[in-house]
Structures are given as structure tokens and as C-alpha cells.
Chains A and B, each alone.
Chain A
Amino acid sequence: MNQGGNIQTVAPLDPNPIEKRYGVEVSQVQTSSYQYSTGSDAASWTTHRVDNQVVQNGNYSNSNYYHPQPPVPPATGNVQETASSSTSGTVNVGQDYSGYTPYQTPSDPQNYSNSGYTNHYSGYQQQQQQQQPSQSYPQQPAGAYQNTGAPYSSFQNPGSYAGTASYSATYYNPADYQTTGGGYQSTSYSNQTAGGYPSADYSNQTPTTSNQGNYTSNPYQNYTPDAANIHSSAAAATPPVHYQQNYQQWPGYYSQTEVPCAPGTEKLPAASAFSQSFPVTNEMPASSGQPAPSYAQPWRQETDSSQPPSQQPAAAVSASNDAYWMHQTPNQQAYYPVPPQNHYQSPLETKPFYETPIQGHQRATYPQELNSQSSIHQAPLTYRQPTQTTPSVDTQRVSKIQIPTNPRIASNLPSGYTKMDKGRSPAGATQTPAYVSVSMSNPKGHTTAMPEPGTFPKSLCGFVERAFARCKDDKEKASCQASLKKIITEATNDGTINTRDWDTEPLSTVLNTDVTNTEPSSAPISSLQNKSPTRRPKSRWEPLVESKPFVKSAPTFTTGVKFGGWNHQNENNKKSSDSFQKVDAVTGSKPSYYAQDSAKKIFQRPVKRQRFSSGSSTANDNDSSSDSEKDLTPYYSSAMSLASSADEKKRRDSRSKRFEKVQGHSRGNDIPKPKISNFRRGTALRLGQDLDESGSRAVEDMDWDALTVKGTCQEIEKRYLRLTSAPEPSTVRPEDVLEKALLMVQDSPKNYLYKCDQLKSIRQDLTVQRIHNHLTAKVYETHARFALEAGDLTEYNQCLSQLKILYAEGIEGCTLEFAAYSLLYITLHSNNNRELLSSMSRLSKEAKKDEAVRHALSVRAAVTSGNYVMFFRLYKTAPNMNSCLMDLYVEKMRYKAVTFMSRSCRPTIPVSYLAQVLGFAGTSSEGAGEKEIDGMEECSEWLKAHGASLIADSNGDMVLDTKASSTSLFMPEPEDAVAHGDRYLDVNDFFTRT
């Protein structure tokens, strides 16, 4: 392994440095903490370099890219621009490059890296400040010094970033344990540099072992001081978790792959300990054994207990790395310069290759980037959730670094998860003014996020994730960030951040704020979308994705914020900020760093969401659900992209309400706390659902209430046409019209086919409007009767099954009448003893007293005993439509009777008797002469048709010769039989329909 090799090589260097780091770095950092702001950039750069050095192959290339681009222009530009005092720092940055190397050589590359990160962050902040002074970062506005100072404060976040640096370090660590140790220390340093901030804690903690522990404590403190920081932290919080996860994973990797690392200095062990110390670490080994994708799921579950988000992200990252490296390697690198490099370095020998490609991409002009983006898009598509998750991160970034960095970022993003970034970035760009404050936090969040996540309570992280997951747009995310900042700062100020139950914290506040922010951005986004060449075909998961490509081009690419500093610097240096293309080209290489970072984040998040349905899952679910909704309702999707904030809000509200109703979860933005208490449970439930998220979720999420049509059609007559699409309200009749239509059909003199057609259309309208009441029952009853009348058993069965449901719901109707029908149907047509028994046993005593039911029961007895006399008597006295059902059995019964008689009776039976007994027309007791003759004729016709031998007796009356008939009887084919089996498909009938 390259890493291993690297590590070993590095290790020797590190051990000393590490120790030194503790002492030296701390001292240095502290002393230079001020410097840090200025020098931080340099440091960051150096870190990159360091990393590169450490990594040697892959890192080098990466570092090279990064270094050249960002260091020179950005550092100087930013520092100079922002603050004179800081300019020195910036200058330093520029110098740092040169100086960095020395740093590395001297002691701890990791420290450098850490510092570098901080620097990056600081740089970002500065850049942001510079770029978005109007936005006014609370801290930054102070001026150049303030910038520096602010950066520092933000740097504290950077400190967390330092943590990120440590990430890199950790990654490196795998390569170089020593370096990792250094990195950790450096992180602690960064914290220290933060100064007033808990940095002390950091430093203290870091030495101990667990970075996380440090982070946790530190982050809180840091956050508390600065609201902005808090926000960033909050925003960062989620990403940090991911980072941590990454860390863990990596550590796991390292531990697994590179046992030799342990031999490293004491610090090295510490680093390993870090990774292990992480709750995730246990899981890590498994994950390490298996590439990212496989990990993700197991991780989530496990992570749920302790650090679900972090683990997931890590898994995601790893997965993403593994999965996407080939395709997206450039992207990733671009996004997360440091971590990816590390990853690449350690796991993949190809890293160098990647780097080169990345470089090429970066260098490549927009078109190429776009292409790369498109390819990336595909990759994101595979990770639907990731993309979603990424947006939040991206948005943060975007908001942070709006202008110059955006293009670069975009370029970066395209390669990796550009869409996400793009989408967010546009939002950020459009919203930049509103977001200004947010942007600050974002950068910090990114930087700080890494370290902070640990410090924050997991529940808070989950909360933040949820909040972001909610966000569909970059706008929303930005606003979400801002509100989150507030919330967290408040919480920290209150000291309730640890005590508050974040799991039940309503997201509504966060979301509401978001909405306001989002409005301005919407228009730009739409324009961007239109322009976007690489539109995502699958917008389901990320509605905004389409806009992302534009975002790339859009100046507002705040997404680059994290890297933005770099980008900005680059831009500033190159002064190509105006022309995005130029910027892109210029920054192309630089963005790669950022891109890598962002990519890491992105990967992490996606993974989290995918696997982490529980904690952040709610948010994810919301996203997915919303997405699915969009899919279901095409107009939604368009609305989503272009939607005014108001619309979105409405939609969101309705959606949340729906969840309240349906699932009892409190995902809704507006959902009150108590409901949210169900959150975990709901999420847990969702875990199970996650499996079929893509498939069934959509249906589950369908808002049936919303989709229920309210008919407006006033036509009474309507032909039935099976729906092939969503019903049009204009063609659906409302209830009162349907009532008239029913009456019309009932009184209609037209044939059954017409009535059936009309009734079916009425039924359809009822169904579409979800009308379940007496009218529905009436319609089905009417239809069932008509069907019986016409002997249409299939239609009758449909109606009867519906009626059973309706009756079971307690809707009144002719229950007994239809119970009788059902009994008759079973007796006469289904011939299923079990069914008959069960339906008989289900009859209540009252039901058995009903005339129709009693009749049906008698018919059953007659049929089972073969008592044809009784049957035909019942046939004549049948109430309701019972005779219609019996009609269908008459033929069989007659045949049976004649067979019986011809076997049993000798020598003859008069046809007149048969006609009377077998219920031929007009043989009723009062029987007028003519009718009797008619019945006779009909009977003899029937007998002849069935092969009976009729003879005339001495009186000239027709009699049945039973002996002859007993062998000659047969059942003739029904006359109206048609080859295709359905006589209603008769052509003439068809023509008479109209």
C-alpha cells in the first residue's frame, strides 16, 4: 500500500515532530495564533503540501495542484484585501508555501496540515468576508484585523477544521501515524489558536487521545461564543460527524491495513486510538474490510447507537470513494482535497492518476467541467440520498463562498457531485445577500464542522442533519443554517445545548427562517436551470439538481466557500472573478481541493442519509418523500425548481401535516414538540421502510387527500372510460349530479349495456372522488340488481364485493337482500361447501327471519336435496331479485328433475305435469287456458331440445316416455353461447349500446 509505505516513511519524521508538536505546535500555534489567521492560510497550504509530501504520490500531485493555485493568489489576495493586518497573514500564506515545506520538514506535517486547514478556513472566512462583505459576516465586518480575528474565531471552527485537517492527518496517518498524531495535535493547536475558545480544552483533550472528546467539548465552547460560529458549527456539526466517521473509517483502515503504524511514536498510537476510540471504530474494521458501499448500511445501524451520522458519512465517503473514485475521482479530489487525497493515497495506488485527471479537469475549461459534472451527476444519481444530503452541505458552502469560488467549486462539483453543489451554490448565489450571515457560518461550519461534530451532542447533530435534510434548495439550506446558528447559539448561551432534547426539537423554526431567505434566490435559480446544459434526468431525489449546473456557472457559487477561500484567493489573484469561465479555468486546480473537501462531505452525507435513516433519516425521508411527491405530480417538480418560496412553504406544510396524520411522526416543519417526541420511533419504523424507499415510498407518500378530485362536471350522462391517467375534475361529476345520474339510469328504458356503462362511469366518479356513503351503496346495489336482471354475473360479483366492504363499514343499504343474493349465489353457482357453511353460520338470527334470506335458505335446502318441486315453487315466489339468480340454475334443475323422473317413473309422465312442476311459463295455479298451453309448448320444446322422447297417449296428450328418455337425455349447448364465452361481446349488442 502506498499509504503504508508512506506512513512508514513519514513515521520516522513524525515521531519527533509529534512530540514537538505538542510542545512546539501548541506554543507555535498559540504564539502564532494571531499569526495563524494570517499565516493560517499559509499553514493550510502547507498542510496541503504536507499531505502531499506525506502521501508522496497522490498527495503530491494533489497538493501540487492545490498549492499552486490557491496559495499564491488567494492567500495574498484575501489577506491583503480584507485586512491589512491579515495581509501579512495572507502574504504569509503565499510565503507559506515555501515556508510550509519547512514547517513540514521541521516537525509535523500534520500540524501543518491542520494549521493549513485552519488556514484554509481562515482563508475562507477571509475570502468570504472579502467577497461578501456586504453580506456582513458578523465577525468579519470588523475589518481586516477583525477578519483575521474573525477568521480566528471562525478559526476556532477552523480548529474544528483543524480537526478536518486532522482528518487529512488521520488519513495521512494511515500513511503516517505520526503525522496523524501531529494532525491531532495540530487540531488541538488550532483550537488553541482559537484562543478564547475552548481551544485550551482542545489542546488538553487532544493530548489525551480522543479527538472526538476534545471536539465535543471544544465545539460547544466555541460555538457559544460566536453565534455565527455556532451556526457554522451547527452546519458543520453534521459534516463533522461525517468527518469523524471518515476518521474512524480511516483509522479502521489504517489499523487494519497498517499495523506497522502502531510502531510509530506514542503519538501515533494516539492517532490510532482516536480512530478506535470513536464509537464507530468498532464498526470501522468491518467497513474497512469492505469498501464503502457495503459499509454504509451496517454502519448506520450501529452508528445509531452512538455516532450514527458520523459513521454513515464515513461509510458514504468510503463508499463514494470506492465507488466513485474511478468516475468521480477528479471530483472528489477537487471537493475534498485533503481527505480524498488521503483516501486515495492510502487505499488506491491510482491516486496519482486521479490527481492528474483532476488536474486536467480543473484546468479544463468549463465545458470539460460540465462534462465531468454530468458524469458525476450520474454517479450522484446512484446515490440519491447522498445527493440530497450533499445539498445541505453544498448549500452551506455555497452560501459561504458565493462569487469566485462558486465557479471553481462548480467545476469541482461537476466532477464529483457537482449537481448538489451546483444546486446549492445557485441558491447561495442568488441568495447571497440574504445569506451573508449564513455564508460566514458555512465556511466555519465546514472547517469547524469536522472537529465540532464530536463536541456537539449527537442529538444536536441529528437535529442539524434533519434540518438540512429538510432543505430542498440551497436557499432553504442557507436559511436553515442561519436559523440553526441562532438556535445553537442560543442553546449554547443558555447552556442548554447539551441538555436540550434535540431529537424532539421542532424543525419548524429552522425551516421557517429558511423560507424567507429562499425567496430571492428562486428566480435566479430558474434561469440557471434553463441554462444548465447537464440537466439531471432524474430530478426525483434532488429537485434542485437541475439548477446545479447553472450554479456552476453562476457567480454565486458559494458552495465553494470552504474551498472558497482558496477559490477566492485564486480569483482575486487572477482577478477573473467576473468571468466565471476564467475563474473556473484558473481556479480549476484549486477547486479541486475544495471539491475534495466538499466531496468528502457530500459523500459522507449521502451515506448518512441512506443508511442513517434514523437520526437524520427523518430529514432524508422528508426529502425523499417530497421528491417522490414531485414525481407523482409532475407539476410539482416544475414548481419546485421555479417555485416561489411561498409555494414551497405551503407544500412543505401540507406535507408535514400529512405525515402527522398518516404516520404520527413529527417531521413537519411546523410540528410541535410533543409530536416530535415520536421522532425516533418514527425513524426507527422508517428504517424498515428504507429498504423499499425508492419503490413503495412514493405510493405511501401519495397525498390522497390532495389528489382526490372534486368534480365539476354537470353532465348527467357520461360514458365509461377506463382511466389511463389522473382524473380531470372537469370530467368528473360531483355527488349531486351523480345522484341525478343514478336516477336517470334507474328510469332509463334503454338496455342493460347502456345502464351498465352509465353505472360504471358513476362508480368511477365515486371512486375518484372517494365518496363512500349511502349513495355509493345505492349505486352498487342498483348495478348489482341490473346485473342480476341481465344475468351478468361478473359485474354482479364486482358489485357484491364492493357492497360487502361498504356494509362492513356500516353504511346502510339493503343488507339482507344482498345477503340472500350472496347465499343464493354460493348455493347455486360456486358449489363450495365450505363457503356455504361459513356464510350460513355467519347469518344472524334476525337475518334468518328475513323473507329474502329465508327464501334463499329454502332454495339452498331444495337444491341440496334435489327437490325440484320445491325449487320451482320457490322460484315462483321469490322475493326481490332472487328469481334472477335462480334463473341461472333453472336449466340445470329442470334437467336434473327430468332425469330423476325418467329414471323413477313409469311408464309415462304427462308434459302438462312437467310443465307445471318445472315452472314453465304460465303454469301458475290459476293457470288460464292459453297460458297453460304456452307453458306446455315451451315445456315440450325444452324436452325435445334435451333429447326426451315425447309421445302422444291415448287421449292425444303429449307424454314423456320415461324409459326411452332415461337414456337419451342430454344437456344441449346453450343457444346463446358464443365462441369467446362472453355473450355481451356480441356485435349486435355492441351496436345497440349507443
Chain B
Amino acid sequence: MAYVSMGEAHRRITEYLNRFCDAVSYQDSSMLCRLLSFSSNSPSLISLADALNVFQDASSLIRQSEKFSEYGEILAHLFRSLQSYRVGNLVEAYLAFDKFANAFVQEFRNWESAWALEALYVVCYEIRILAEKADKELTSNGKSPEKLKAAGSLLMKVFGVLAGKGPKRVGALYVTCQLFKTYFKLGTVNLCRSVIRSIETARIFDFEEFPRRDKVTYMYYTGRLEVFNENFPAADTKLSYALQHCNPRRERNIRMILKYLIPVKLSLGIIPKDELLQKYNLHEYMNVVQALRKGDLRLLRHALQEHEDRFLRSGVYLVLEKLELQVYQRLMKKIYIIQKLSDPARAHQLKLEVIAKALRWLEIDMDLDEVECIMTILIYKNLVKGYLAHKSKVVVLSKQDPFPKLNGKPVSS
């Protein structure tokens, strides 16, 4: 930490205080944002933090001037947080920031217009980031991480401030997104429901009026929620919305959306082009897509096994696993086509024996009972049209469209 003289420290702090007060009085939101964004690690904030650590009695400075003392509570907590943040004591920094945020929100509530929304966004963002860092610190110290949870409740409070009518409502979606991020990280996804309900049932405010970036984020997270629920059509629309509206140059964001959209599309029978996977570096889906194309059950299983951890973590494992039936369907179709080539008259009769042999070629060992079971399921799920003659161990395919395409409809249960 560079040495800072007392006078210099005093100067820096006073300058910051002046800027803060000016920003508030001129309603200069962008300046306020800069003054508050810890995680930006801007040099001015770092130097201020150094100054604060030198000049310990900043609160008296705040108190000295009436101008400053008006925001004394806000500033004092902010300073303390910044100090701790600079020193690396993240838990302390979080605690102080939490108090600051509370004070700030209180102040924000009193401001008639929504000019400080951007600053509030910054506060919401910082509190979440800080909480995550503090939790990391807590975990490394062997303590139970709980700060993110606390941040969640604070964000919920902020949401309450914004969710009503009026100009501030525009900010509600941003907070919602921060809440989503928090809840997803915490694994308490079910808490999202109340927020979603509040956003989607409020007819006073059209969803389209929210800022685009918030809409995209919101759709992304709600889409993910639908993936968990295996409600693929809904997930498809939400994620597609996110994909269509997100900034096309933000590849990372696009990739995040595609990570969920591709499995959803796959389960709806829509297979992406390889270029897409290439472009966005989604190699884990390559083999899955290949398996679907070829009806290669073994490939699918391998792909699932290979990326099991990743798929489990992102939550698409079960979705991908369900693609197995489509792979079977593809395999049947292939057999059917081959049979058709050799003996078109009896092509619509698939012997279980044949299917079992095909599977054996794929190094998948199944006896007839099991094959029969699979075929039963395929027929039941309408992936194969026809019937199974148990006695003769033959699947009799419908002569018309024996392998109906899903065409965007989910596999019936």
C-alpha cells in the first residue's frame, strides 16, 4: 500500500465526499455509480481506500460539514466497507456495505424521481458480488457461508422498494435478475417463484418496457427454471426470446443461453447445425447431436458419461438422457430403411431379434424382453407408430409415417 500522507488522505476523502454530494445534488447518476462501484477497482476508489486507511477518522470529516453529514450514515458505512475491502477483510466489508446499502435504499426511497436507479443497480450488484466474496472467505475459514443469503434478503427488500407503481418500477427487473443470480447460486431456486409472479402478474407495467438487458437476463433465468421443470416448450420460448434479444456481440451470453437452449431444442426434435456448436464453442453437445443424427445410442451414452459432471452441474443431464428415446427412434428408422432396401414388402415388420442385433453392434447388450420394453415405450410415446406383436416378437410399423417427427412438440409422456 502506497504511502499516503495525512494531508493527501484528507484531500482525497474530502474530494470524494464533495463528489458524492455533488452527484446527489445534481442527480448525476453516472457519477454516483462510479463512486459506488467497488468491484470496478477503479484507481480513484483504491486511492480513496488507501486514504481512508491512513486517515482513520473519516467520520469526523463527514460530521464536520453539514453537506456531508446529511449523508453521514451512508458515507460512514461506505467508507468502512471500502476500508475493509481494501484491506481484504471481505466479511467486514460486506457487513459495512450491507449497512450502507440499507441506508442508501432508505435514501433512495425518499427521492421522488428514479434518477438514481443506475446507482441502485450498482449497489445491488456490488452487494451480491461482495457477498459471494465474503462467503468464499468464510468458507476458507471453515465457517458457514451465509452472506449471500443475507444479500438475497436485502435484494428482496430493494425489490419491494421498486416493485410498486411509478417510475421506479423500471428497475424492478434488474433487481429480480440479481435475485435470480443469488438464488441460483444458493440453490434456492424455488424462491424465484414469488418474484416471477410479481413480475408476470403485474399488468400495470408491460414487460416490454423494461430495459432490454434485464429482459434478456430475466428470460434466461426463467427459461432455465423451465428446463428444470422439463417444460420444454416454455423453456424454448423464453430462451429463444433471450437469444433473439441479447446483444449479438456478447458471445459469452449467447453461449450461456445456448447451453440450455440446445438441449431444449433437441428434446423438441430440433437439431442444431454443427457450425453453431463450433461458433460458440459448445463442443460438449457435438456428440449428442451426432448420436441423434445417427441413432447411435452408444455415442450418446458416451457423450453423457464424458460430460456427466458438466451436465449435472448445469442441470441438463436429465434432459439429455431423455434424448435416448429419440436415438432409439432414429435407430429404428435406420433399420426400417435398410429393411426397405432389401425387402420392401416386409420392411414394416421389425423383428425384435433384428433390433437386438443392431444394438449389439453398438455394443449394447439387451435381451428381447428389454428390447420389447423399449419398443413398447417408443410406441406408447408415439415415437413409433404401429404395434408390437408380443407372440411373434415383431414390431409392426404403421405404413404411414411410422416415425413421426416431433417438430417442436415434446415427447409425450
Contact = CB atoms under 8 A, between A and B. Distances in A.
Contacts of B375: 904
Interface stretch (B70-78, B101-109, B387-395): B387-395
Contacts of A905: 376, 387-390
A768 B373 CA distance: 53
B87 to A, nearest CB: 18
B134 interface: no
B187 interface: yes
A523 interface: no
B324 A906 contact: no
- Chain A contact surface mostly: helix
Interface string A891-916: 00000010111011111111001000
Given A869-B370, A913-B390, A904 B313 contact: no
Interface in A827-874: 833-834, 836-838, 840-841, 861, 864-870
B274 interface: no
A160 B229 CA distance: 77
A370 B228 CA distance: 72
Contact of A908 (B229, B324, B390): B390
Contacts of A910: 390
Given A867-B373, A900-B376, A904-B379, A837 B390 contact: no
B230 interface: yes
Contacts of A833: 228-230, 315, 318
Contacts of B315: 833-834, 837
A219 B27 CA distance: 56
Contact of A903 (B187, B228, B380): B380
- Chain B contact surface mostly: helix
A897 B321 CA distance: 20
A204 B84 CA distance: 47
Contacts of B230: 833
Contact of A904 (B187, B228, B325, B376): B376
A837 B388 CA distance: 34
Interface residues of B, number: 31
B380 A900 contact: yes
Interface residues of A, number: 29
A908 B391 CA distance: 8
B312 A868 contact: no
A861 B375 CA distance: 17
Nearest to A903: B380
A102 B92 CA distance: 64
A865 B372 CA distance: 14
A595 to B, nearest CB: 42
Contacts of B229: 833
A864 B317 CA distance: 12
Nearest to B230: A833
B387 A867 contact: no
Contacts of A904: 375-377, 379-380, 387-388
Given A833-B228, A905-B376, A864 B388 contact: no
A917 interface: yes
Nearest to A848: B308
Contacts of B340: none
Given A903-B379, A905-B389, A869 B369 contact: yes
Contact of B376 (A841, A861, A864, A901): A901
Contacts of B389: 905-907
A906 B309 contact: no
A865 B324 contact: yes
A861 B321 contact: yes
Contacts of B380: 899-900, 903-904
Contacts of B228: 833-834
A861 B301 CA distance: 12
B146 to A, nearest CB: 16
B338 interface: no
Contact of B373 (A837, A861, A870, A909): A870
Contacts of B387: 904-906
A906 B377 contact: no
B312 A909 contact: no
A909 B370 contact: no
Nearest to A869: B373
A907 to B, nearest CB: 8
Contacts of A837: 312, 315, 317-318
Interface string B374-413: 1111011000000111110000100000000000000000
A864 B312 contact: no
Contacts of B321: 861, 864-865
A693 B187 CA distance: 34
B322 interface: yes
A836 B315 CA distance: 10
Given A904-B388, A909-B390, A917-B369, A866 B377 contact: yes
The residue in A836, A864, A903, A908 that gathers the most chain B C-beta atoms within 10 A of its C-beta is A903
27 contacts: A833-B229, A833-B230, A834-B228, A834-B315, A837-B317, A840-B317, A841-B312, A841-B313, A865-B322, A865-B324, A865-B325, A866-B377, A867-B373, A868-B373, A869-B370, A897-B373, A899-B380, A900-B373, A900-B377, A901-B376, A904-B376, A904-B377, A904-B387, A905-B387, A905-B389, A913-B390, A917-B369
Given A904-B377, A906-B388, 14 more contacts: A833-B229, A834-B228, A837-B318, A840-B312, A841-B309, A867-B373, A870-B370, A903-B379, A903-B380, A904-B376, A904-B387, A906-B389, A910-B390, A917-B369
9 shortest interchain CB distances as A-B pairs: A904-B379, A841-B312, A869-B373, A906-B387, A904-B376, A900-B380, A905-B388, A900-B376, A869-B370
